[in-house]
Chain A
Amino acid sequence: SAVISQKPSRDICQRGTSLTIQCQVDSQVTMMFWYRQQPGQSLTLIATANQGSEATYESGFVIDKFPISRPNLTFSTLTVSNMSPEDSSIYLCSGRDTGELFFGEGSRLTVL
């Protein structure tokens, strides 16, 4: 299956700042998704990253807080804006073409 690389793998951020996470897939994929996994919890879907159009957000997530870009079939970014300690989580990128959904290793954010 395809491989997803995420950058950064981890970061420590200050309250009120923003951080952009990059997701690069080594092959073209039809669908890309962003998930959040808070400490000790399961994965929660943030949004579907749509190529060339606005992302589709799940209930409880808004574009102003989590702007997403997807300029092509292999790349997407998620920005966590105006961070607070409650945003400390692992953020995971996932992709799917015709096979199964596969995931990156995640980006672990700690907000102080």
Chain B
Amino acid sequence: DAKTTQPTSMDCAEGRAANLPCNHSTISGNEYVYWYRQIHSQGPQYIIHGLKNNETNEMASLIITEDRKSSTLILPHATLRDTAVYYCIVRAAGMGGSEKLVFGKGTKLTVNP
């Protein structure tokens, strides 16, 4: 079962920041937080991941609370092309069965003109 809780849907205005929350209150010390998104009719796309420090890349920023029980994915300037389902996933580091990703229901983000 997925170990994360996300809102079912969110809306955001084009050009504004989109802040997508994720609750992972049972996360273990060796588990990373991963974010993927799935644009309609495409395969999921990796966005970003982190352990306990905040992370930023060309796509987004990831803010993880100090207790690591929740995180927020930030798309700084949302565009219409960012409309997608966003999945927050926790995964343990290392080889073997922990390599697999278990997807929850995700958040359907709609960016409006």
A contact set with B: CB distance below 8 Å:
1, 4, 30-31, 33, 35, 42-45, 48, 56, 92, 94, 96, 100-106
User: What are 23 inter-chain pairs, A to B, with CB distance below 8 A?
Assistant: A1-B46, A4-B43, A30-B95, A31-B99, A33-B101, A35-B103, A42-B87, A42-B103, A42-B104, A43-B103, A44-B103, A48-B97, A48-B99, A92-B43, A92-B44, A94-B43, A100-B46, A101-B46, A101-B101, A102-B43, A103-B45, A104-B43, A105-B43
The interface bits of chain B over 92-109 (1 if a CB of A lies within 8 angstroms of the residue's CB, else 0) are 000101011111111000
Say whether B103 contacts A106, CB under 8 Å. Answer: no
Interface residues of B (CB under 8 A from A): 34, 36, 42-46, 49, 85, 87, 95, 97, 99-106
User: Are A42 and B99 in contact (CB-based, < 8 A)?
Assistant: no
CB atoms of A102 and B97 under 8 A apart: no
Least CB separation from B85: chain A residue: A42
> Contacts A42-B87, A96-B99: A105 and B42 contacting too (C-beta < 8 A)?
yes
Say which residue of B49, B97, B100, B103 sits within 8 Å of A100 (CB atoms). Answer: B49
Chain A residues within 8 Å of B45, by CB:
103
Interchain CB contact under 8 A, A106 and B46: no
Residue of B nearest to A101 (CB): B101
Assess the A42–B106 pair: CB atoms within 8 A. Answer: yes
User: Within 8 Å CB of A100, what residues of B?
Assistant: 34, 46, 49
Find chain A residues with CB under 8 A from B44 CB. 43, 92, 94, 103
| One of A45, A56, A96, A102 near B102 (C-beta < 8 A) | A45
- The distance in angstroms between the C-alpha atoms of A104 and B42, with both chains bound, is 8
CA distance A30 to B36 in the complex (A): 20
Q: Which of B34, B49, B100, B106 contacts A33 (CB 8 A)?
A: B100
Task: Give complex CA distance A96, B104 in Å.
Answer: 20
